[in-house]
Structure 1
Amino acid sequence: MVDSAFATDDFVRRQLAAWQRDLGSVRRLADKTLEAYGRDVDQFMRFLAGHMGGPVTLASLKALRAADIRAFMAQRRSESLGSRSLARVLSALKSFFAFLERESVVRTEALNVIRTPKLPKSLPKALTVLEARQTITTTGEMEERPWIAARDMAVLSLCYGAGLRISEALALTGADLEAQVLRVTGKGGKVRLVPLIEAVRKSIDLYLSLCPYKVKADEPLFRGLRGGVLSPRLIQLRVQQLRGALGLPASATPHALRHSFATHLLGRGGDLRAIQELLGHASLSTTQIYTAVDTDRLLESYRSAHPRG
C-alpha cells in the first residue's frame, strides 16, 4: 500500500479531518471506534492510491466503482481479517461517504451494492439467577479486607442489578447517585437513567461507609488499594477467582452479569423496549438477541421436564 502521507491530496485530507471531527463532536462516537474508523478509511485511501496509480483526489472519489471497493475488501480478507472486522470497515466507509454527501462534496452509489459480510451468530452467555447471586455474595468471602470486599460486591451488584457495563460502573461518581436513580454515561457519552434498586443502593452505601478514601462528588466512586481509580482488571480477576470457587463456566465474566440482568428481566416478562433503554442500546435489534437466549432456555426446560421431551 501507498504511504499514508502520499495517499490523498490536500482537499481529500481536509475532508477526512472534517469527517473525524464530526464523528467525535456531533455523533460522539467512542474513542476506540473513532480510532478504528479512521484506521479503516486510511487503509482504504492507501489501497485506492495504489490501485489508481496516484493520490486520491475528488475526481478519484467521483469515479469510485463497486469493483474498487470489492477489490479492497478482498485484499483485507486475504490478510485474515474476519467478517466482524470487515463489517466495521464497510461501516466506516459508508460513514465517510455519507458525510461527503451531506456536505455536498460528492455522492456515490458504489457502496450501496456492497453487501455486509455475514456475521456469525453468538448468543450472550447468561448465568442462572442462582449463579448470579452466588457470584455477588461469595465475593465478600474471598477478601479479608472489608472495604475491598464491599467494593467488589458493589461493582458486581451494579453489573447484575442495574445492567451496567463494567466501564460504566467504574465511571460512576457521587453526583451520578440519586435517591432511586443512577445517571449512567454509556458509549459515545450518551447518558441514561437506570432505576437504583434497594439491594444495589445498600451495597454502594456499605462500600462508601467502609472506604478509607474521601471521594469528591465529581470523582469516580470506586478506588483501588492506594486510592487511585479502580482498574477493571481487578474486578475481572476477582470474577476469575469466583469461577474457580463456584465451578462457573469460562463465560462467567463481569459482562455476563449484564447479560444475565437482561435475560432474567425478559424471562420475567420485562418489556423489550424498556430493557433496551436500561442497557443503553442504540438499536432495538441489539436487544432482541436476548429473546433468542430466553427461547433457548425455554426449550431446554421443556426438553428436560416434558415426559416425552
Structure 2
Amino acid sequence: MTLDLSPGARDAMQAWLSHMRALDGAAENTLTAYAGDLTAFLRFQAGHRGGPMGLAEIGRLGTADMRAWMAAERLRGTNARSVARRLSAVKSFVRWLCEREGFDPTAILSTRAPRFRKPLPRPLGRDAARDLIETVGMQHETPWIALRDVAVVTVLYGCGLRISEGLALMGADAPLPDVLRVRGKGDKERLVPVLPVARKAVDRYVAACPHDLTPQGPLFRGARGGALNARIVASVMARARMQLGLPSSATPHALRHSFATHLLEAGGDLRSIQELLGHASLSTTQSYTAVDTVHLMETYARAHPHGR
C-alpha cells in the first residue's frame, strides 16, 4: 500500500496535536476531528499530486491544489459548514508548521471558506420550558428515576450546562452550592450561579436515590447504579416533547439555548452570558441577539395593528 504521508509529516501532525492539547486546551473530541480532517486533506493531496506528502510537499501546495480539494469535498456531498471546519483545521496546522519549516503559507491561508448560514439557536419559550420539566417527571414509573430526570433537566436549564457538563457532576457536588464550578470544553473552568429550584430538584433526587452516591462517583445514576447515559436523557426529553407537541429541536441542548435566551430577554448583558455559557468567543454568544430580535419582531407583528 502506498504511504500517503511521509514519516516527517506524520510526526509534524502529532506534534501539532500535542501543541493544541497542551497550550490551547483543545478537547479530545476536537483533536480527533482535527486529526481526521488533516489526514483526509493530506491523503487527497497525495493522490492529486501523485506522491506521498512530506513537509516539503506541504510547503509547495498552491491555490490550484486547494481549489481542487475543496471541489472534491463538495462533489462528495460535504456541506459548506463541514468544508469550512476542515479548512480551519488545515490552516491551523499549516500556520503552526510554517513557523518551524520557514515556507510561505499564503496560498493555503488565503483560501476562503465557502459561505454558509449559521443556524440560529432554537430555544424553548419560558412556559414551554416549565411544562417540559414538569412532563419529564411523569415519564418513569419508578419515583427516584422520575426525580432524577427532573433534576437533570432542571440543572441543564437553570445553570445553562451542556449535557456532558451536567452528567459530569460528582457526588461531591451535592448538595449543589450557590455557585457551581463547571469544567467545560477544553478543560476550562467557569463559575455558574445555581438557582434554588435546581438545588431543590437535586436534593429531592439525592434523598430518593437507592444507590451510594460516593463523593468521587457520578451524581446522576442509571437504573442499575452506573453513570447516567446522555441518550437516556435525550429519550426522556423526546417522549415529553411528543406529549406536549413541541418541535424536534426541543432537545437537552435546547435547554442551554433557552437559559441564554431568557437571560438576554430579562436584560442580561452579552459578556456575562458569555461567561456563564463558557463560550470562548463573544461571536458565538451574539447569535442569541438574533434570536431575541426575531422574537421581538414576532411580538411586534402580533401586537401592532398594521401587523395583523
| Common fold: TM-score over 0.5 | yes
Partner of 1:186: 184
1:14-56 Cα offsets, whole Å, 9 max, x none, are 1111112222233232222212211111112112222222222
CA drift at 1:107: 4.0
Partner of 2:213: 215
Aligned partner of 1:15 among 12, 17, 21: 12
Q: Distance in 2 between matches of 1:206 and 1:105?
A: 61
Q: Does 1:81 align with 2:78?
A: yes
Which amino acid is 1:252 matched to?
A: A
Aligned partner of 1:58 among 55, 59, 72: 55
1:191-214 Cα offsets, whole Å, 9 max, x none, are 111001111111111111111111
Q: Distance in 2 between matches of 1:185 and 1:102?
A: 32
Partner of 1:117: 114
Partner of 2:283: 285
Q: Distance in 1 between matches of 2:267 and 2:239?
A: 33
Q: Distance in 1 between matches of 2:256 and 2:9?
A: 42
Tell me if the contact between 1:100 and 1:107 (Cα under 8 Å) persists in the aligned partners: no
CA drift at 1:74: 0.9
Residues 59 and 244 (structure 1), Cα distance of their counterparts in 2 relative to 1, 3 Å cut: closer
Tell me if the contact between 1:176 and 1:183 (Cα under 8 Å) persists in the aligned partners: no
Which amino acid is 1:103 matched to?
A: R
Partner of 1:224: 222
Tell me if the contact between 1:97 and 1:107 (Cα under 8 Å) persists in the aligned partners: no
Paired residues in the alignment total 306
Tell me if the contact between 2:155 and 2:166 (Cα under 8 Å) persists in the aligned partners: yes
SS at match of 1:218: coil
Partner of 1:24: 21
Which amino acid is 1:192 matched to?
A: R
Which amino acid is 2:47 matched to?
A: G
Partner of 1:101: 98
Q: Distance in 2 between matches of 1:103 and 1:193?
A: 38
Which amino acid is 1:217 matched to?
A: P
Q: Does 1:150 align with 2:147?
A: yes
CA drift at 1:182: 1.2
Q: Does 1:257 align with 2:255?
A: yes
Which amino acid is 1:39 matched to?
A: G
SS at match of 2:272: helix
SS at match of 1:6: coil
1:248-296 Cα offsets, whole Å, 9 max, x none, are 1221111111111111100010010110111111100001010010111
Q: TM-score scaled by structure 1? A: 0.94
Identity within the alignment, %:
51
Q: Distance in 2 between matches of 1:44 and 1:151?
A: 45
Aligned partner of 2:243 among 223, 242, 245: 245
Q: Distance in 2 between matches of 1:244 and 1:88?
A: 33
CA drift at 1:242: 0.7
User: Can you give the 5+ residue segments of structure 1 that lack an aligned partner in the other structure?
Assistant: none
Tell me if the contact between 2:132 and 2:240 (Cα under 8 Å) persists in the aligned partners: yes
Q: What value does the CA root-mean-square deviation take over the aligned residues?
A: 1.6
Aligned partner of 2:302 among 294, 301, 304: 304
Tell me if the contact between 2:133 and 2:153 (Cα under 8 Å) persists in the aligned partners: yes
Q: Distance in 2 between matches of 1:29 and 1:146?
A: 40
SS at match of 1:141: coil
Which stretch of the first structure deviates more once superposed, 246-255 or 156-165? 246-255
Which amino acid is 2:167 matched to?
A: L
